[in-house]
Amino acid sequence: MSTHVPVLLDRVLELFAPVLDTPDAVLVDTTLGLGGHADALLSAHPGLTLVGLDRDPDALARCRDRLSVHGDRVHLVHAVYDQLPDALSRLGIDRVTGVLMDLGVSSMQLDVASRGFAYAHDAPLDMRMDQTAPLTAAEVLNTYPPGDLVRILRDYGEERFARRIVERVVRERSKEPFTSSGRLVELLYEAVPAASRRTGGHPAKRTFQALRIEVNGELDALRAALPAALSALRVGGRIVVEAYQSLEDRLVKQAFAALAKSRTPEGVPMELPGHGPQLRLLTRGAEQADEQEKEHNPRAASVRLRAAERILEVHA
């Protein structure tokens, strides 16, 4: 397995540094992965309590080992990030000082060929982040109606040739069900025009992304997780989100923007009490990794980081 390098680690540490040195500081890492960000944050802030969520039992097992040096400051929970309120409730935590969301597929999941996330390796068409979940990429590919497959490839993969790809998938699956990523990659090479392959990257990239998002319900989970995470922040608390594709980043941008503007009706000459902005944006747009980090850590190439601070309490 390749060495895990957390993306934009220095920037994440910098953004959280002003708020995590209080004795009661609690940070939720909603996508623990291999624990690189979590380990660095715990080391930098000796009084910090960390709640680590991950849907992947293998990731939790590895992190339990890696983070054991931090003792009882660490609480690990097997959960998808939209289950954050339940996880905090079970731990008796009402509000938190920080939330970190490092979205997308983890380094471990990409590096283990048998998980089926990487189109560079022939492997079972699995793509489950949580291998206790029932739905696999093979089931999606073999059983979904053509119209649903076209929608998934267009909406989740932004694939221009979705209909052309699906026509071939339907024809081939009628002969023999798809079981391996290698067979799917071969089909995609045939279905995607050569001109597009030259300029649009690997022909499997968009289809694999779309299948992964469908299998794991990623966008639906993120739509629910963002308001839950923002509601859990205490005043002065901060949220940092790293997204790796435009669909995720758009949801983050919209969620932050909605709470960063005043709710006082237009035309009212002064801010109404309790109607001011609830968030202060800490980044100008989405920040990217610099060229040096991209060179040393290819997974940083597509990252878009956004951060915000809670400045007004939310009352239900």
Give 128-186 pLDDT, tens digit per residue. 988 888 999 999 999 999 999 999 999 999 999 999 999 999 999 999 999 999 999 99
Query: What string of H, E and C letters represents the secondary structure of the chain?
Result: CCCCCCCCHHHHHHHHHHHCCCCCCEEEECCCCCCHHHHHHHHHCCCCEEEEEECCHHHHHHHHHHHHHHHHHEEEEECCHHHHHHHHHHCCCCCEEEEEEECCCCHHHHHCHHHCCCCCCCCECCCCCCCCCCCCHHHHHHHCCHHHHHHHHHHHHCCCCHHHHHHHHHHHHHHCCCCEHHHHHHHHHHHCCHHHHHHCCCCCHHHHHHHHHHHHCHHHHHHHHHHHHHHHEEEEEEEEEEECCHHHHHHHHHHHHHHCCCCCCCCCCCCCCCCCCCEEECCCCCECCCHHHHHHCHHHCCCEEEEEEECCCCCC
Topology of domain 9-102+218-310 in CATH is Rossmann fold (3.40.50)
37 in a known ligand binding site:
yes
Give 174-219 pLDDT, tens digit per residue. 999 999 999 999 999 999 887 766 666 788 889 999 999 999 999 9
Residue 1 has pLDDT above 50, yes or no: no
Residue 237 has pLDDT above 70, yes or no: yes
109 in a known ligand binding site:
yes
147 in a known ligand binding site:
no
35 in a known ligand binding site:
yes
Q: Taking the domain 113-216, which CATH number applies? A: 1.10.150.170
Give 214-236 pLDDT, tens digit per residue. 999 999 999 999 999 999 999 99
User: 255 or 272: whose pLDDT is higher?
Assistant: 255
Domain spans of the chain? 9-102+218-310, 113-216
pLDDT at 307: 98
pLDDT at 316: 41
